[in-house]
Amino acid sequence: MTGTIPLAVEMRGVIKRFGAATANAGVDLQVARGTIHGIVGENGAGKSTAMNLLFGKYRSDAGEVLLDGNVRRWRSPAEAIAAGIGMVHQHFLLGGPHTALENIILGAEPRRHGFIDTARARADLELLAQAHHLPVPWDTPVDQLPVGIQQRVEILKALYRQARVLILDEPTAVLTPSEADHLLAGLREFVKSGRTVLLVTHKLREVLSWTDQLTVFRAGRTVATLRTKETTAEAVAEKMIGRKVDLKVRWPPGTPTTECLLEVRHLTTAHPGKGLQDISISARAGEIVGIAGVEGNGQSELVRTILSPAEQDLRGGEISWLGTSALRLNSAQVRGLGVASIPEDRISKGLLTEATVQENFILGHQRRSEYSSFGVLKRLAINAAALRVLEDNDVRPADVSVPARVLSGGNQQKLIFGRELHGQPRFIVACQPTRGVDLGAAQFIHEQLVRCRDRGAGVLLVSSELEEILALSDRILVMYGGRIVAEYGRQEATEAELGLRMGGV
Amino acid sequence: MILDELGASTLRVSTPLVFAALGGLYSERAGVVNIALEGMMLVGAFAAAAGTYFAHDPWVGAAAGMASGMSLAAIYALFVISLRANQVVAGTAINILALGLTPLLCKALFEVTSSTPSIPLSDRFHSAPVVAAWILVLVSWIVVQRTPAGLWLRFAGENPDALDSAGVRVNFVRWVAVLISGGLAGLGGASLSLFLSSSFSRNMTAGRGFIALAALIFGKWRPVPAAVACLLFGCFEATQIRLQGITFPGGGSFPVQFVQILPYFLTILVLAGFVGQSRPPRALGLPFRRE
Amino acid sequence: MSGKSVQGLLSALFGVLVGLILGLLVVWGAGENPLTVLRILARGAFGSRYDLGMTLFYSTPLIFTGLSVAVVFRAGMFNIGAEGQLTVGTIAAAMAGILLPFLPMPIAPLVAWVCASLAGAAWGAIPGWLRARRGSHEVINTIMLNFVAAGLCSYFALYPLRNLQSQNPETRGIASQFKLAPFPLFEGAPVGWALPLALLMALFVWFLLWRTVIGFEWRAVGLNEVAARAAGIDVARARVGAFAFAGALAGMVGVAEVLGNSGRFRVGFSPEYGFMGIAVALLGRNHPAGVVAAALLLGALHKGAAELDLETDRVTRDLSLVFQGLIILCVSAEGWWFQNRRRKATAGSQKSTGVVPASNSP
């Protein structure tokens, strides 16, 4: 496949572990000079880790990286930059109150008599900006620039350091479609001069229309490298999803009642281009509504907004919980209606890792009369209830006095489930409920959600795992770019179809 | 006449504050909280007085003050940058250490704990510290705004990750910044013992390090506004010193305490956004480590 | 839990040990025999019933301020303002004793106690409120409020309530029925009911933090603000509440000082009890039992060091401050070291994303 075109970048058998977790289990990548090379894969497939290895941010545990045919090992981004690699991160590394110019020249300032030679920097940058059609207001603090321009600043930062290989991590995630096309057209020009672009994205449309070749990542490995012209969206989606056998079970369908527990109408939040756009969802008692989508397409905003509407910046729309208009309710009040939530990141949003399991169990229930009277906690009742919940949910070790941090991810998640489902909530919002948990725990968690549904509760399941969505949902909504772009009944959806929708096709 | 006098006196009493506030500026703009300014000033005041006493030259004394401030700053930097100790806790410890160490050293050198021997007028500064302080204000302004080092300093405090990915070692920048901070605070202390008075006395800074910190916040972490805030706070001090002598016809005196608390009170209002708005550097107080 | 407390205890003891060794090196450098100095310190602190009493006398305010710092720390914030809170509490106790001379005996000290607590609570609530509602950081605010408190209380001592019989900056004496007699056991050392009150408060803090809903909510906010908010806890109320309670604790120093010791408010009476409270809380791992132990240690150091002025030629009572500074430094770094190792162990699997965003703080 390499043929006569010389390779700009090559990775051979690269492995990277973080503690017990393996982020890259074998990455083989060949990128021809003067091309745009797409890097695609689901969340957690190892794309970002591989790119950060290339950029010197991490050091690999095995394998080698070659630049222009030579084996290279750099210990820091500084060395990678010196070698001609530039990276535009998904989260920009820009210093807020500093000007665009200062951000670009940082660490590579032109000097005159020990001072920064602003005039020369400006002249050089003007040339660079003109050559690549990337105009930027040099003297404006970057935090006052729109994200599209901030991205130009990041790209110019790399070009100013004479990057020959430019890595862009999800560059269009923050852009409107026309901005995205402008950026990608610019990249086409850019590679004509013999430079190389690695484009990390989950948007199949972009990959297919702008890259020369693409490499698919799955579960930490590179599974295929394809010529873009010779492939189709369906083929790529299939490679991305693979043939995993995990959780292939489909749970029996629910029997929804007519009672609508959650009603969202035309919800729009105040971050143009980033927030929610005209979202409408209804979820009845006795059904699981799945929200599918690649992460970062508005799911987190949606969940935050429906769980604490009063604390959000809403532009329009209506939310009602269990028949009560909820726009003025805060999170405590929404909870009070009988809405439980499983947060997407259990460590940072759901647990007091340093507190005991028992205290984590009581969090949110502490004012209920079973567990406190006159402000004093009822230790015995809490202890007994916590122990019962641990046993019911098969949390191991079933010891209420250990700190929550000693539990494994799966057991932590089961603890959170036990807590949130304690007291029979009417509705459960579950975000990425099985992320990072072992198969047994995942199975158990799914069982719990189905059981809740079958006793008449409503469930909103937000997940970027397609199998999970397909296994559990009675209805499936797909989110893309802050909108609901498709809705399917239980039997209508297939993985391939959903994969395409999630990629914005 | 009174106004002239008040102006001159304001310039004088604000000088230690200007030095120390500039010191605080370097440290805090680089992302390191510096409530240890007080302690660094205190050792500076002592070392300057002792150095001048032995060398009969205030410049030697000032150098000693600067060096001692830097030494204490090195201990502080070691703990908060390299060992990532909490900056507030370690800063408090440095202040307590300075409070105890200075009288101990005083006893060791001069057999008394309360104060160093008085330095004759001929060996003291007359106006040099004022000039030096304001020159340093301008120099700092230029350094921070116009030099690569200044740019690194600002990024170390605002977005250390960006600085790191641009290939500059964040903790090196912070170390240098904290050392400069200690040197300047030491000079502030020196100007207290060699310029505003004639000797070192126990706890002679009496909260001036904190006033300097307040001025820094009041001046929104920028050199010239912070120095002007020092002038304002110095003016309060000068006014209060003048008012202390005045007795009302009825025999009472003016309650100067209300003037004394003004700097602190104003700083709280500014920080809370009731009067203007003052935003600290974004990474202030956060230790930096790469992955 | 127990593994962690053992680790905490070990790291505190290690810090104390390193701090003491460094301090003794200073002693040696000053030309005194470190062993002699240690002996003087021990005898000065515990040599007689009077000495022990003085140690307890110094420890009592440190228990109050240590608890104050610890409570706020448990709620996820820093209280550098115990000094200001205790100053306000002390002047309030003195005011009660001066302005309400008609109160009868059993009620009078109780009223003074309540006044001291309320004044401290009000002063403490300010930085809590500023943090919760205005987002301005409590460290700077409490430092500034210390000086504001010092200024305001000096005003009261020098103007409206001035003791005209004395050259010292102090208020008039309180009415006699407010005074708490010292325990005769300590041969004249001013240790009275304030000490049992402090111990009772330590017990109460423990009960509040680990046995009540309010304390649980404060700790939840301190452990994970996001999770606490998601669980429906009113974070702003927890911040203000914890700070107000901490202020009340610090304010109770006024009971020890005014009712139990001097019978008046004296400007500068506190040898930085508030700042020493930071050391006490840090050494005591922010646990009431640890706070009591650490307060005894630092109280003993303070008392023992007072003897150095007379009994040695080259070192003075200021050595106590040097010890304190060094101990805090060593404990602070040590605590962090343990914490980092733990974080690394738990967060390993979570660290796959590339960029570490700079968070908004302080």
Model pLDDT for residues A417-443, shown as the tens digit of each residue: 889 988 889 999 999 888 777 777 888
Model pLDDT for residues A256-285, shown as the tens digit of each residue: 888 889 999 999 887 655 688 889 999 998
> How far does the CA of residue C136 sit from the closest CA of chain B (Å)?
5
**Lowest pLDDT segment from A5-14, A439-448, C34-43:** A439-448
Read off the tokens for C219.
Answer: 């700790």
**pLDDT-based confidence at residue C315 (cuts at 50, 70, 90):** confident
Tell me how long chain C is: 362
Residues C190, B164: Cα–Cα separation, whole Å: 57
Question: Is residue C288 assigned to a domain?
Answer: yes
Residues C339, A441: Cα–Cα separation, whole Å: 29
**pLDDT-based confidence at residue C335 (cuts at 50, 70, 90):** low
Residues A25, A19: Cα–Cα separation, whole Å: 13
Buried b (16+ CB within 10 A) or exposed e, A209-239: ebbbbbbbbbebbbbbbbebeebebeebbbb
Q: Give ipTM to 2 decimals.
A: 0.89
The residue written with tokens 């305010």 in the block is C61
**Which pLDDT score is estimated for B22?**
97
**Which pLDDT score is estimated for C105?**
84
Question: Which residues in C lie closer than 8 A to residue B272 (C-beta atoms)?
Answer: 130, 134, 136, 141
**Which pLDDT score is estimated for A104?**
93
Question: Is residue C99 assigned to a domain?
Answer: yes
Question: Which residues in A lie closer than 8 A to residue C227 (C-beta atoms)?
Answer: 343, 348-352, 363
Are residues C212 and A353, on separate chains, in Cβ contact within 8 Å? no
Question: Is residue C90 assigned to a domain?
Answer: yes
Q: Which residue of chain B is at minimal alpha-carbon distance from C73?
A: B89
Are residues B97 and C319, on separate chains, in Cβ contact within 8 Å? no
Question: Is residue C37 assigned to a domain?
Answer: yes
Q: Which residue of chain A is at minimal alpha-carbon distance from C226?
A: A349
Instruction: Tell me the domain boundaries of chain B.
Output: 2-245+253-277
Q: With a cut of 50, which residues of chain B have pLDDT below it?
A: none
**Which pLDDT score is estimated for C351?**
27
**Structurally, how many domains does chain C consist of?**
1
Residues C76, C81: Cα–Cα separation, whole Å: 15
Q: What is the mean pLDDT of residues C176-197?
A: 88
Model pLDDT for residues A13-42, shown as the tens digit of each residue: 999 987 767 888 889 999 999 999 999 887
To the nearest 10°, report the CA torsion of C281, C285, C288, C291. -40
Question: What's the whole-model pTM score?
Answer: 0.85
Q: Domain range holding C25?
A: 3-337
> How far does the CA of residue C342 sit from the closest CA of chain B (Å)?
15
Question: Which residues in C lie closer than 8 A to residue B237 (C-beta atoms)?
Answer: none
Could you tell me what percent of chain C has a pLDDT over 70? Answer: 91
Residues A99, A143: Cα–Cα separation, whole Å: 9
Give the bridge partners for A217, in sequence order: A41, A222
Burial of C164 by CB count in 10 Å (0-12 exposed, 13-18 middle, 19+ buried)?
Answer: exposed
**pLDDT-based confidence at residue C1 (cuts at 50, 70, 90):** very low
CA distances (Å), origin B79, targets B158, B282, C333: 21, 21, 6
Question: Which residues in A lie closer than 8 A to residue C343 (C-beta atoms)?
Answer: none
Question: Which residues in C lie closer than 8 A to residue B261 (C-beta atoms)?
Answer: 147-148, 151-152
**Which pLDDT score is estimated for C3?**
57
Model pLDDT for residues A224-240, shown as the tens digit of each residue: 999 999 988 888 878 87
Question: Is residue C107 assigned to a domain?
Answer: yes
**Which pLDDT score is estimated for C95?**
92
Read off the tokens for A318.
Answer: 């209506």
Give the bridge partners for A264, in sequence order: A281, A319
Model pLDDT for residues A2-18, shown as the tens digit of each residue: 456 788 999 999 999 87
DSSP 3-state of C292: helix
What lies within 8 Å, CB to CB, of B159 at 6+ separation is A93, A94, A95, A96, B282, B283, C358
pLDDT at A245 over 60: no
Question: Which residues in B lie closer than 8 A to residue A81 (C-beta atoms)?
Answer: 165-167
What lies within 8 Å, CB to CB, of C285 at 6+ separation is C5, C8, C9, C12
CA distances (Å), origin C29, targets B43, B105, C22: 18, 10, 10
pLDDT at C91 over 90: yes
Interface residues of chain A, partner chain B, Cβ below 8 Å: 57-58, 76-78, 81-82, 93-98, 102-103, 105-109, 111, 114-116, 157
**Which pLDDT score is estimated for C277?**
92
> Chain-wide mean pLDDT for chain A?
86
Q: How far is CA A371 from the centre of its chain?
A: 37
**Range list of β-strands (E), C136-194:** none
Model pLDDT for residues A180-226, shown as the tens digit of each residue: 888 888 888 889 888 999 999 877 888 888 999 999 998 888 999 99
For the domain spanning B2-245+253-277, the CATH number is 1.10.3470
Model pLDDT for residues C144-178, shown as the tens digit of each residue: 899 999 999 989 888 888 888 888 888 888 888 88
What lies within 8 Å, CB to CB, of C59 at 6+ separation is C195, C295, C296, C298, C299, C300
Closest listed residue to residue A264, CA positions, set A312, A204, A195, A210:
A312
Provide DSSP, A6-44.
Answer: PEEEEEEEEEEEETTEEEEEEEEEEEETT-EEEEEE-TT
CA distances (Å), origin A288, targets A429, A430, B249, C283: 10, 10, 84, 52
Contact with chain B for residue C132, Cβ under 8 A: no
More confidently predicted of A90 and A288: A288
Model pLDDT for residues C248-305, shown as the tens digit of each residue: 999 999 999 999 888 889 988 888 899 889 989 988 889 999 999 999 999 999 999 9
Q: Give the containing element (helix H, strand E) for A223.
A: strand A221-227
Model pLDDT for residues A354-413, shown as the tens digit of each residue: 889 999 999 988 888 889 989 999 889 999 999 998 888 888 788 888 888 888 777 888
- The domain that contains C214 carries what CATH number? 1.10.3470
Q: Are B220 and B280 in contact (CB under 8 A)?
A: no
Question: Is residue C355 assigned to a domain?
Answer: no
Cis status, amide bond into A272, omega within 30 of 0: no
Around Cβ A45, how many Cβ atoms within 10 Å? 24
Question: Which residues in B lie closer than 8 A to residue A58 (C-beta atoms)?
Answer: 291
> How far does the CA of residue A181 sit from the closest CA of chain B (Å)?
27
Contact with chain B for residue C279, Cβ under 8 A: yes
Model pLDDT for residues A305-364, shown as the tens digit of each residue: 999 888 888 888 899 999 888 888 888 889 889 999 998 887 788 889 888 999 999 998
Q: Which residue of chain C is at minimal alpha-carbon distance from B39?
A: C325
CB pairs under 8 A between A and C: 108
Read off the tokens for A62.
Answer: 């095995």
Max CA pair span of chain C: 72
Are residues C224 and A351, on separate chains, in Cβ contact within 8 Å? yes
pLDDT at C359 over 50: no
More confidently predicted of A495 and A302: A302
**Which pLDDT score is estimated for C346?**
37
Model pLDDT for residues A117-158, shown as the tens digit of each residue: 999 999 999 999 888 888 899 999 998 888 788 888 999 999
End-to-end CA distance of chain B: 62
